[in-house]
Structure 1
Amino acid sequence: MNSEEEIIKLYEENLNPGLARIVKFMGLNSIEVEAQGTKVVDSSGEKYIDCVGGYGSLNFGHRPPKIVAAVKKQLEKMPLSSKLLLNRQQAELAAKLAEVTPGELKFSFACNSGTEAVEGALKLARLYTGKSEIISTVNAFHGKSMGALSATGKEEYKAPFQPLVPGFKHVPFGDIAALAKAVTSRTAAIIVEPIQGEGGIILPPEGYLAEIRKLCNEKEILMIVDEIQTGLGRTGTNFAVEFEKIVPDIMVLAKSLSGGVIPIGALIAKSKVWDPLCESPFLHTSTFGGNPLAAVAGKKALGILKQDKLASRAKELGRKLLIELNKLQIKYSDLIEEVRGRGLMIGIELVTEGIGGMLISELTKRNLLAAYTLNQPKVIRIEPPLVITKEEVDKVVDIFSAAFREVAKMISKEDIC
């Protein structure tokens, strides 16, 4: 039995047989063993360009040397906190977040994941306003814990777990009129992604976020912005809200916040919103949240974000990639419905879902990793590390071109048969 068969057997016997079946069907049963920068190496020594990027968790690349070095240094001193004494690393991370995030966002709470950050934000909104209703958007993705899942706008994930947390309603993304109509005297907050990531890389109409900000001001409700996937340079600005120059009342972050080295999440809010937690600081806590390893990684990542101008890099290379992929859309219009995105957050919407499986398989054969968006299998996401080079972008375009050429041939043969 070779190593791939051994690992598949372990998946089947101890993880999830259904997952093992999907992995085998997609031809993704190679074993990843090492990674650096934009490359993933499997057990056979094959190197892949990573255009999945940990679903947005690897903006700084795999194993960024400066962040790894900082974490190793902290590991030798104190990996986890006693939780009783003051923690310098956590305090300095909070100060750095206040410095880097837009406007008057000031106080933060560190946790371990995006879904935890969303849970904290929802609790804070209810605590501050004394109201319970939360408005989200159709096709949104905010996580899969009970509160975050209640905000998520995909019924397929929610139905098996009903009843979820009450008080949530959903309106179409990008429709400010529907949003305004949904607000009631019981509304505590609106939660929104600046760009729907798992929804299929859906960009809102121009001015949408600014209109939400205006609505929240008028109705005296909170605006929660989920920057878990869009933040930290991904869309060509440090945070996607900067594109419309607005400041939310609460922002949630995760994924690349630690440079892709340690799991971390965070919510950061304006001072007035934080007041109830100042009065009762133990209402919301986390054993591992803000641990020294994650905090050190986060501090270093936020420093690199600015020093290396990763947002500008994403803007420039993303523009180049969009231009080239749109040329492919014209050439293969019978396969590609649309190419869209901002910065290095790009989606290729296919004409039918069935094309996606063939395309991912062909990309993998050519040593490029890509994946569906979670809520929309017709859309293939491209989210490489922001450290990708111009030469690697050219290579990505060449591989997509070859893969689409092969898929077109396969579909043509099926039609003939």
Structure 2
Amino acid sequence: MTTELRVLDPGEWDDWYGTLELAFGGVPDAPEERRLWRELTEHDRSIGVWDGERCVGTAGAFTFRLSVPGGAIVPTAGVTMVGVAATHRRRGILTSMMRRQLDDVRAGGEPLAVLTASEPEIYGRFGYGIGAYATRAVIDTTRVRLSVPDGTDEVVLRQADPAKSTAEREAVYARRVPARPGMPARQPGWERLPLLDPEGERGGASPRQCVLAERDGEVVGYALYAVKPEWSYTGAEGSVLLKDLEALDPVAEAALWRFLCSIDLTSSVRIHSRPVDDGWQHLVSDIRRCAPTQRDGLHVRLVDVGAALEARRYQAPVDVVFEVADAFCPWNEGRWRLTGGREGARCTRTEEAAELALSVRELGAAYLGGVSLTSLAAAGRVRELRAGALLEASVAFGSPVAPWLPHGF
């Protein structure tokens, strides 16, 4: 087989994206969704594999800036639109695209690459570890009550047009980004993503709705949601479908949750993706009636181990030498000494004796602070070579706030 891997020409986008759609089942995206992704595509960061005139492989990257523990916003490649034609599987096409892509990310000076996986087992062999999880739940509002903090009644809620409230919502979102690892700072154009609401994908639910939370005339939170009306012989059994919720303080957040849980003619709030430490779980009277479940969210890859580990802060002093294995990006292999704490960090090559041994995949899993090194060690994925090094590093790598990716890409 003779194939050619090349950077995407804008004129090839339709064929390229059609290959991606076919790889994901062949159901075409809605026109407005296709238009948005066309406009957001960074052609110079998108690659395709061509067999003659036919595109048989796709991969792209977005230029992101991602929050990491300590509040820094770090240049990051958002890997996206990865697909291989069913007729060309098991021929090394995916590996060739991952190879080219990570080489390009390194050359561009981005220390991190992240992605969301259609199948989690795919990307571990390329050095990606699951660095953030998400919670899904269904709050049974006929059985569950909320206990909200003092001051909730002082928050004013206002129904708003989702599009016309974009500036207020994005201002709240931007203030939230440094506070939680894993959140991308939205670049121009990405403010349109929360508004994407194809009619054919609503499944009987309403168009996107918005409510703003205000205090003293300032917007301090918002929720984007839809309502799906449903009826049975005994009455209304509609669902509130939460799309997005951000707030600047616990009181404003509680006001939004109370609103969502009390919308007329509904009996449940369906949560697709929220942080694993989200506050609503401590407002509800019966967590069992909410049936929370977890799944993988953001997969993290350290492209430059030294730069990545220097970019974040550590919640306790740390001075440890890692022996890093990275067969796919061998420039990361070897020993690295990390010293740091809450004020900053340095990570440099060293010839000193290794104290912890692990692969770059485990570093990616632990990087945002949501997966502990001790947990990985319990699975045999991290080896302690100096007594006490594992506990020291595990505490330092932790984050008081769970990492979370608020939207796909």
After TM superposition, the score normalised by the length of structure 1 is 0.29
Structure scoring higher RCO (CA < 8 A, sep ≥ 6) equals 1
Of Structure 1 and Structure 2, the greater helix share is in 1
- The structure having more radius of gyration, on CA atoms, is 2
Higher strand share: 2
Q: Please, what TM-score do these two structures have when normalized by structure 2? A: 0.29
